[in-house]
């Protein structure tokens, strides 16, 4: 019997001959990587084009004088001279026309017998006009109502807001240039005047005599002048309805007569063909997932008559507060490029106003009023609705690297501007 050696403990008696499968192919991984590279390259290229386009747009805006910002390379020490007014430097962390003759409208008419819808339209359509307001970046359209034979027209302030050129189209297709007589943002009313012959003035009815369920019609330009002269009918759905509009509460007439964009500034008319309201807003059809219809609102004629008379005779509405400055919002680009805080860029400070006496200057950035942040003129106007002329407010501004605050007494709009 031959001897043999015991196998080593690690020897299991099985011997491999190497890999019998061919090496795995990596073509799938390579393809995925190539697709990823192509996608990333395309994304980077697209972002580059978008960045160039945005820069060009911002560069064009930079040429506009309305937002000419002067930035000093080094902050200047505050002067104690006359220009500083009442401004006090604080820690940045604390920052949060020509004389017009008096116009007296006749008393509001009372209802005397109803008219058919056709008769109402024939009576009222000559007094309804189409309004186009052109501004820097486009235009807006709305409706207006002729109030007097010498060309005074009432519409909504938001129809002509920021308008640089306003035109009025009459029902006989004449187009007239309009002069802005005055506005009242608190009531969303504005008064224009045109020079034209043969104008038909509307008859103002008494909105205080309205009852829920009274028949009414609206005439205007829904969706623009393409559909001008459209009449819709409905009823008075509610009276003395308090509605929040841009931060202020307005007492309005509610109606289910169809109103759409373009009807703003047009008349709401009773069954006698008398204007008992100026249409101002609606709650849209896409307010919620269910949709909302038939919720339109008009400014009562009693309020319209009072405010329009004040605007025509004195150029303003008594008791409205005014800070003495106007401005515009600062884009995020300007904030980052010039390292500016968010706020409202002050584009104009009225001479001899309390703001000017307090030392405010064009180029300052208004940060807050009584601790409430302000980003635009709309924010400022909305905030002032809660104050009265004579109230004192604490404002915080930014100038040349410093944050400052001062107290300013609000003036009565119109008297301070005259």
Q: Which residues are catalytic?
A: 158, 188, 264
Q: Are 154 and 144 in contact (CB under 8 A)?
A: yes
Look at residues 223, 222, 230, 216 and name the one whose alpha carbon lies nearest to residue 125.
230
Classify each residue of 278-303 as buried b or exposed e, where b means 16 or more C-beta atoms within 10 Å of its C-beta.
bbbbbeeeeeeeeeeebbbbbbbbbb
Residues contacting 129, CB < 8 A, separation 6+: 143, 144, 145, 146, 153, 168, 169, 170, 171
CA-CA distances (angstroms) from residue 386 to 87, 303, 362, 378, 379?
24, 19, 25, 14, 12
Q: Are 321 and 389 in contact (CB under 8 A)?
A: yes
Neighbours of 275 (CB within 10 A): 28
Strands (E), 73-200: 88-90, 128-135, 138-146, 152-156, 165-169, 175-177, 179-184, 189-193
Measure the CA–CA gap between 46 and 65, rounded to whole angstroms. Answer: 31
- In the numeric block, the tokens 């289910």 are attached to 256
Measure the CA–CA gap between 383 and 96, rounded to whole angstroms. Answer: 14
Q: Are 213 and 199 in contact (CB under 8 A)?
A: no
CA-CA distances (angstroms) from residue 227 to 63, 127, 130, 158, 263?
38, 16, 10, 20, 10
Pull the structure tokens for residue 404: 């400052």
Max Cα-Cα span within the chain = 143
Q: How far apart are the first and last CA of the chain?
A: 134
Measure the CA–CA gap between 112 and 7, rounded to whole angstroms. Answer: 126
Reduced to 3 states (helix: H, G, I; strand: E, B; else coil), residue 107 is coil
Q: Cα 75 to chain center, whole Å?
A: 34
């Amino acid at each position: 019997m031959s001897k043999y050696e015991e196998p080593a403990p690690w020897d299991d008696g099985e011997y491999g001959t190497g890999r019998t499968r061919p090496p795995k192919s990596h073509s799938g991984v390579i393809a995925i990587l190539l697709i990823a590279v192509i996608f990333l390259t395309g994304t980077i290229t697209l972002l580059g084009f978008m960045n160039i386009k945005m820069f060009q747009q911002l560069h064009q805006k930079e040429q506009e004088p309305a937002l000419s910002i002067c930035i000093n390379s080094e902050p200047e020490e505050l002067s104690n001279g006359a220009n500083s007014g009442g401004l006090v430097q604080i820690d940045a962390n604390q920052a949060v026309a020509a004389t017009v003759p008096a116009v007296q409208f006749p008393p509001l008419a009372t209802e005397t017998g109803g008219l058919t819808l056709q008769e109402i339209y024939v009576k009222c359509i000559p007094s309804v006009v189409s309004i186009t307001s052109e501004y820097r970046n486009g235009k807006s359209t709305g409706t207006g109502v002729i109030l007097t034979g010498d060309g005074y027209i009432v519409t909504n302030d938001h129809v002509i807001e920021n308008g640089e050129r306003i035109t009025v189209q009459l029902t006989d297709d004449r187009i007239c240039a309009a002069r802005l007589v005055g506005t009242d943002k608190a009531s969303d009313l504005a008064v224009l005047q045109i020079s034209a012959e043969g104008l038909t003035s509307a008859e103002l009815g008494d909105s205080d005599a309205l009852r829920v369920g009274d028949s009414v019609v609206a005439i205007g330009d829904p969706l623009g002048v393409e559909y001008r002269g459209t009449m819709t009918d409905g009823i008075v759905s509610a009276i003395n309805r308090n509605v929040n509009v841009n931060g202020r509460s307005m007492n309005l007439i509610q109606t289910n007569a169809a109103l759409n964009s373009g009807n703003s500034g047009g008349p709401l008319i009773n069954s006698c063909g008398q204007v008992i309201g100026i249409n101002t807003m609606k709650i849209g059809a896409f307010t919620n997932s269910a949709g909302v219809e038939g919720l339109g609102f008009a400014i009562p004629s009693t309020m319209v008559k009072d405010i329009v008379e004040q605007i025509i005779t004195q150029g303003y509405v008594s008791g409205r507060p005014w800070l003495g400055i106007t401005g515009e919002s600062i884009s995020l680009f300007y904030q980052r490029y010039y390292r500016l805080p968010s706020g409202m860029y002050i584009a104009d400070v009225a001479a001899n106003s309390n703001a000017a006496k307090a030392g405010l200057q064009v180029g300052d950035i208004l940060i807050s009023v009584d601790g409430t942040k302000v980003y635009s003129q709309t924010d400022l106007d909305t905030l002032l609705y809660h104050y009265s002329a004579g109230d004192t407010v604490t404002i915080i501004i930014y100038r040349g690297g410093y944050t400052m605050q001062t107290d300013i007494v609000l003036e009565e709009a119109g008297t301070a501007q005259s």
